[in-house]
Amino acid sequence: MTRTLERILSRVQKPGRYTGGEYGEVRKDPAQVDFRFALCFPDTYEIGMSNLGLRILYGVLNGMEGVWCQRAFAPWGDMEAEMRAAGLPLFALESGESLRDFDVIGFSLGYEMAYTNVLNMLDLAGLPVRAADRGEDAPLIVAGGTCAYNPEPLAPFIDVFSLGEGEEALPELVELIRRGRQAGWSRKELLREIAGLKGFYVPSLYEVSYHGDGTVAAIEPREGAPFPVTKRIVADLDHSYFPVDTMVPSTEIVQDRATAELFRGCIRGCRFCQAGYVYRPVRAKSEAVAARQALESCRRSGYEEMTLSSLSTSDYRPLVDLCDHLLEYCGPRKINLGLPSLRADNFSMGLMQRLQSGRKSGLTFAPEAGTQRLRDAINKNVTEEDLLNSCRTAFEGGWNAVKLYFMLGLPTETDEDVLGIADLARKVLYTFKKYGTNKARGVRITVSTSCFVPKCHTPFQWEGQVDMDEYRRRVELLRGAMRERAITYNWHDPETSLLEAVFARGDRRLADVIEHAWRAGARFDSWTEYFSMERWLDAFREVGLDPAFYAGRQRSREEILPWSVTDVGVRQDYLWREREQAYRACITPDCRKQCTGCGANSFLKGGKCDE
């Protein structure tokens, strides 16, 4: 550690974020390293280190001979100020080397509100934020993650987007860059070659033109670049890398526990859920592999808590066997086994009760909508009966706190649907009054609403978002209808939802807005202490773009969508059909009942998902 850094660390909050040195961190002999890969997460250490994808890629890349993958996170404001004052460029935690000396800087993009941090981290590394301004020798800037499915707002800043799962794609990228280095390719030549690799989108090779009304007129690939660019997946999860010997941070992080991954993709097809579409097809690990990885992760990390991760845990076929298996190990060692994202059904509740030891805290359900009609429209296959039965089981078992999550502003929502949320909350309250075993303690029912954000590659990608005033009106309507003391109502502010809706479906011209906001001081926009809507609205005004054009406008089937250059394997006509089903409030059966032909099975040999 340098003297400069040591002095800075004595003045900042949570200095342990900036030192590395955790158990499981990979250190290599620089003499044996010919390729440096900086894996960056554009948020704090505590959030970035909680990301399983980052840990997978860290392990995969460090498993390559001569490659040293290191980490960097966004420094908090106090640290940023100190670094800028001292002229200390952004460095990697493992070696302390400046990021600008790396071969590749890779960003994981999980949410739109982290975009300004990407620019800020590039700037802190001493690099021009725009790809066009970076020199021949600058590191290659790569970005992947869920947000890469609409890469356009970041297109001018990023050299290469990696679409889909990276564990097989990134090693191919590294090998190609090595080959280019030997052959003496220019940056331009390298980018052209990368565009030929499966799953990589090189935005500078595509020209976008616009109609007078601001919609996209054409997206034209140049120099033989493919159109569209199809995402990558790992077909066989049983034989793919999983970080059982992962890092254990010495300071507390958000997800401070061992994680086992059960499957990728989701059979449910909730129409608002981007993850449910972009992670298709469904691929499960076998029980034996999931159990082995889970136990190894526990044993080698020493964590006192383990969580089973996937989009909908209760849909894992051998879940009961797996839990029995894990409990044999975890029980005597007092390791807590957590099952997130359980469905509100009898099966899941039975399982919950068996796993729960000690104090019974709150349970969380996400009915998403207040009436059966709207739940059918969004294809959230949960009935009121399921929910109330689950609550009954919970209350009878001694639980006395329930959290219910909803969205306001879902397509086709009426005031009746909004008021349905209040009805449902009240029915949960009556269920407690009737069946609660611990009535003296009372019950806490927390209703939370957020503003629906239409996302690309979902059936609602053509929808307009309700504007902020309308969202606020619906919040007030709901608030007025829930006066019971046992019911608490929390609602998210719609400002960040509006911006998310803009960037989730925006085009390249928005890059100017992002850069403008960042230059005006925007960073950590998902943190209320940093966020300023004023600053964003100023940026839109300065650049001459209207957020409502992107967020609130209903798009037609014919419109060329800015993200049509990316292909997740689910066909656009399938999404449109799902949208029509939504307007008829018709449900689509889950993938296990019947294949409805979304197209994602084409990624798998034999075309069979979820085997």
Partner 1 sequence: MSDHRIFYRKEDTARYISHLDTMRTFQRALARAELGVRFTQGYHPHADVSILLPLPVGFSSRCEVLECTLLEGTDLERVSERLNAVLPRGLWVEGCAPREKAPKELTWVDYQITLEYDGGTPADWGEQVRALLAQESWVVEKKSKKARTGVTTLDLIPLIRSLTWKEEGDRVVLEGIFAAQNPGLNPQVLVDALAAARGELRSDYARFLRRSLLDSRGETFR
304 contributes a contact to partner 1 by CB under 8 A? yes
- Pick between residue 22 and residue 315 the one whose CB is nearest to partner 1: 22
Footprint of partner 1 on 79-138 (CB under 8 A): none
Stretch that binds partner 1, among 243-251, 288-296, 478-486, 580-588 (CB under 8 A): 243-251
Q: Which residues contact 611 (CB under 8 A, 6 or more apart)?
A: 284
Compute the least distance from the CB of residue 25 to partner 1, in Å.
7
Residue in 134, 222, 169, 158 with CA at minimum distance from that of residue 53: 169
Compute the least distance from the CB of residue 301 to partner 1, in Å.
7
Three-class DSSP category at 448: strand
Stretch that binds partner 1, among 205-213, 293-301, 343-351, 526-534 (CB under 8 A): 293-301
For residue 385, the surrounding DSSP H or E stretch is helix 384-396
Compute the least distance from the CB of residue 23 to partner 1, in Å.
4
Residue 71: phi, psi to the nearest 5?
-110, 150
CB-facing half-sphere around the CA of 579: CA atoms within 13 A: 22
The string over 345-370, giving b where at least 16 C-beta atoms fall within 10 Å of a residue's C-beta and e elsewhere, is beebbebbeeebeeebeebebbbbbb
Three-class DSSP category at 196: coil
Three-class DSSP category at 39: strand
Binding partner 1 (rule: CB under 8 A), the pick from 181, 188, 211, 334 is: 334
Binding partner 1 (rule: CB under 8 A), the pick from 52, 64, 176, 248 is: 248
According to DSSP, the residues that pair with 152 across neighbouring strands are none
Stretch that binds partner 1, among 214-222, 233-241, 299-307, 545-553 (CB under 8 A): 299-307
Binding partner 1 (rule: CB under 8 A), the pick from 28, 292, 300, 479 is: 300
Binding partner 1 (rule: CB under 8 A), the pick from 116, 246, 301, 526 is: 301
What binding mask, one character per residue, do residues 10-49 give for partner 1 by CB under 8 A, x or -?
A: x----xx--xxxxx-x------------------------
Whole-angstrom distance between the N-terminal and C-terminal Cα of the chain? 50
- Pick between residue 22 and residue 80 the one whose CB is nearest to partner 1: 22
333 contributes a contact to partner 1 by CB under 8 A? yes
Compute the least distance from the CB of residue 327 to partner 1, in Å.
15
Burial of 594 (0-12, 13-18, 19+ CB in 10 A): exposed
1 contributes a contact to partner 1 by CB under 8 A? yes
What is the Cα–Cα distance from 50 to 33, expressed in whole angstroms?
27
- Pick between residue 70 and residue 581 the one whose CB is nearest to partner 1: 70
- Pick between residue 252 and residue 611 the one whose CB is nearest to partner 1: 252
Compute the least distance from the CB of residue 20 to partner 1, in Å.
6
- Pick between residue 296 and residue 559 the one whose CB is nearest to partner 1: 296
Binding partner 1 (rule: CB under 8 A), the pick from 186, 209, 250, 286 is: 250
Largest Cα–Cα distance in the chain?
76
For residue 579, the surrounding DSSP H or E stretch is helix 572-583
Compute the least distance from the CB of residue 247 to partner 1, in Å.
9
Footprint of partner 1 on 358-397 (CB under 8 A): 358-359
6 contributes a contact to partner 1 by CB under 8 A? yes
Radius of gyration of the chain (CA): 24
Burial of 389 (0-12, 13-18, 19+ CB in 10 A): middle
Angle formed by the axes of helices 115-124 and 77-86, to 10°? 20
Contact set with partner 1 (CB under 8 A)? 1, 6-7, 9-10, 15-16, 19-23, 25, 248, 250-252, 299-304, 333-334, 358-359
